[in-house]
Amino acid sequence: MENTINKPGNPYYSNTDTTKLNVSDAEWKKVLPPDLYAVSRNADTERAFTGKLWDLDAKGTYYCAACGNKLFRSDQKFASSCGWPSFFEQENKNSVVYKEDNSYGMRRIEALCGRCDGHLGHLFDDGPKPTGKRYCMNSIALDFVPDTARTENSIKNNLETIILGGGCYWCVEAVYEKLDGVKSVVSGFAGGKNANPTYEEVCTGRTGHAEVVQITYDKSKTSLDEIFQVFFTVHDPTTLNRQGADVGTQYRSVVFYANEEQKQAAQSIIDQLNTEKVYNSPIVTTLEPLTKFYKAEDYHQNYYENNKNQPYCQMVIQPKIEKFEKIFKARLKK
């Protein structure tokens, strides 16, 4: 899992790693901004009512600004008249730790980040129920991430892309548009020798390109394995350089893999299908390393939806969709 917040200049910052840090004061001085260093490492206190988070009431999560450790949730925060962000409960028993603070002739409980021991503020016994505690924090010692940003980041981190060729891209695009978990399908070309090919150039069969679709999917809702299951169900992977009446290398059955995982996953399902003799003839699908994907002209995008009454759509694409919907009925987009 990736960070919710990225701080390239701070190698110790992580929103996911809870390993205890043992970093020298000199090193912290190198990686922290001066104002944060003064609070986090020297226990300075920002002036009341000056921090950007003291009266924030948005939904989200609060992290240690020095090391990224998760400290509080917004539903643990309460409105306080003290002028600093105030919480009645910490995220977990290890997120915040304590020590006695007898500075300035007072007896207080200092609150420190449980991961980096950075100064956050102080703990008092005048908070609301159910804990009766008030975690009085410095705004500058906290990073805040709203829930919307966390959700968007999570979705982004779950997206993967695979490029497949199974004959006419109009057919393949129309099928994958209906699979739950697929975020987008773009028709285009890959595997050829010249840059920015046109549809007319690819149709000659002399450029080496194949008609393909670029499928972007949410791996929390579908999987590479399911993407390949659909692929080998809705086209014939045993006919060399053709699908039905569409003939030529531009219509070849092909997986353009972007990494070793995709290559191995494709090879595994091909081996399985051949071993189980699912088809009467051997699979001829090629596995080719992806070099460059070129998007096809706009009128090729979402072709089936825009041209349902065309004979090709009714006679060639519609039967493929019906086959997909029958076999993958439970996996259709709602």
Query: Could you give the CA distance from residue 170 to residue 36 in angstroms, rounded to a whole number?
Result: 55
Dihedral (CA of 16, 19, 21, 27) sign: negative
- Which of 113, 168, 171, 313 is flagged as catalytic? 168
Are 240 and 248 in contact by the 8 Å Cβ rule? The answer is no
Annotation marks residue 313 as catalytic: no
For residue 184, give both structure tokens: 């987008």
Tokens 């090193």, located at residue = 27
For residue 220, give both structure tokens: 């929390």
For residue 234, give both structure tokens: 């809705």
Closest C-alpha among 135, 7, 148 to residue 72: 135
Annotation marks residue 203 as catalytic: no
Tokens 């992806």, located at residue = 290
Query: Could you give the CA distance from residue 79 to residue 87 in angstroms, rounded to a whole number?
Result: 9
Helix (H, G, I), strand (E, B) or coil at 280: coil
- For strands 159-166 and 210-218, give the pairing: antiparallel
Query: Could you give the CA distance from residue 91 to residue 70 in angstroms, rounded to a whole number?
Result: 7
- Which of 67, 116, 136, 171 is flagged as catalytic? 136
Catalytic positions, written as ranges: 136, 168
